[in-house]
Copies of this chain bind each other. A is one copy, B any other.
């Protein structure tokens, strides 16, 4: 879920290790020579289901609801048991009037103005998440562009630029300018003559000059040429005083800060590449659209206490969270989408290897803070329309809303998106302390912060009683012994959810996992 992580040498080596390990998986490119965008190949074909066969689905997140929706279409009788008092799971949006209760006992009531919202979990859809985009169309979920990439956002790092935030355009353009100058210098010293032909050298120098905006001496210097990308002190205008004034470039020392190249490359990450989308009005439009197709099929406030199975069927024991009533539901098959931090606490009759996989997979946490500001000062004063400002501080970033551009009145920005160890530090604070931290740290970008602040909400995933975590954290070392055991059909039970995928955290992961799980469960049912 993070588009921006501080790279460490260890992380890099791990990534390289993964790449090496995957060599075994390498296959010839497709005939077209283009990378495929998605593993989604259309809705599942589940023909020949036995009439009246019953499937119980545990959890009404996207994986669970998609399983119910498609198996119902295929002729199965479906029933969902849901722990919470709403369907949707992590497909979750908070609005004014909503109440958030934490494991700690803290209770927040959201005070956002009508129309404003925070998506504490998933909030954006990559163009290549074609399963999700497909179901948004099928279910009538209206989408609008999500502005992921905005070079007018800021970068703040405690180690460079004297700690002063820079526009992302400035750091991006300065980084490549200095890289180009250095490479051109090396080429002109004939340092790469063993690699490059004379013609290659000429082409490469021309590339460095053009891409890096180098001057006639092949140097990256302050002037109108660099300003044409990094921005001007005074941009070109009209009339008598229309001439532009160039801006001043930063030095090599500043752009060598790892946060700089990390920022430059972050939007190239496949999951962050534009065009991205979001549902109009909040991410929960997706969960609500699925739930409308499953009316009467979702039992809310139902805490599963045991998953039993034998060769005749499955039996799910549960407790009603409202009235304490205990019950049992029998079915022919079960799709279990309960997140593993919860599932590992429940008695499940599956093979030891699957149980070991359920217990082995760690989850990470995250914390999002939504700050309602009295006005869109980031647009009105600083010309930032959507996108992010990144910082080395614990909040990680600020994200500006991709809806309601130019509107007067209050708006909600994402004031913190803390991950890693910071997520747990935020979770240990009271909600008010988290908001205060977000305000203090965000002020490094926006001097208007304190004066314009109206109200806020801080969602720490490890504090949410129904999941106590954010999302699964696979590593190659864990996948080798556990992944196939986790996803296999075990008797009459199959697991689904983002934890049963190579994607992780994203809504697409829940859907692709679910499609695969129900396809295999259907085959199992036909064989029964």
Chain A contacts to B: CB under 8 angstroms: 7, 9, 12-13, 15-20, 22-23, 25-27, 29-30, 33-40, 127-128, 130, 133, 136-137, 143-145, 147, 149-152, 164, 166-167, 169-170, 172-173, 175-176, 179, 182-183, 185-187, 189, 191-192, 195-196, 200, 203-204, 206-207, 209-211, 215-216, 221-248, 252-253, 256-258, 260-262, 264-265, 268-270, 273-275, 277, 383-387, 402, 405-406, 484, 487-488, 496, 500-503, 509-517, 520
Contact = CB atoms under 8 A, between A and B. Distances in A.
A383 B238 contact: no
Contact of A36 (B133, B144, B151, B234): B234
Given A29-B247, A210-B7, A269-B228, A235 B128 contact: yes
Nearest to A186: B186
Of A25, A207, A402, which is in contact with the most chain B CB atoms at under 10 Å from its CB?
A207
Contacts of A517: 238-239
Nearest to A518: B239
B242 A513 contact: yes
Nearest to A271: B228
A245 B9 contact: no
Contacts of A247: 29, 35
A245 B25 contact: yes
Copies in the complex: 2
A144 B501 CA distance: 35
B225 A19 contact: yes
Given A151-B268, A191-B186, A235 B38 contact: yes
B39 A238 contact: yes
A481 to B, nearest CB: 15
A505 to B, nearest CB: 11
A487 B242 CA distance: 10
Given A222-B26, A232-B36, A239-B500, A256 B207 contact: yes
A242 B39 contact: yes
Contact of A151 (B29, B185, B274): B274
A242 B275 contact: no
A277 B383 CA distance: 13
B210 A265 contact: yes
Contacts of A265: 176, 210-211, 229
Given A35-B169, A231-B270, A241-B516, 19 more contacts: A7-B210, A19-B215, A35-B170, A35-B235, A36-B233, A37-B231, A39-B241, A128-B235, A145-B147, A147-B274, A151-B273, A183-B183, A207-B261, A237-B516, A238-B501, A238-B514, A239-B520, A242-B516, A275-B386
A222 B187 CA distance: 25
Contacts of A236: 39, 501-503
Contacts of A226: 19
Contacts of A386: 145, 275
B235 A37 contact: yes
Contact of A127 (B152, B200, B502): B152
Nearest to A35: B231
A182 B204 contact: yes
A325 to B, nearest CB: 35
Contacts of A172: 268
14 contacts: A7-B210, A12-B210, A33-B164, A128-B235, A144-B145, A149-B149, A150-B274, A151-B268, A151-B274, A182-B186, A229-B270, A238-B509, A238-B510, A239-B496
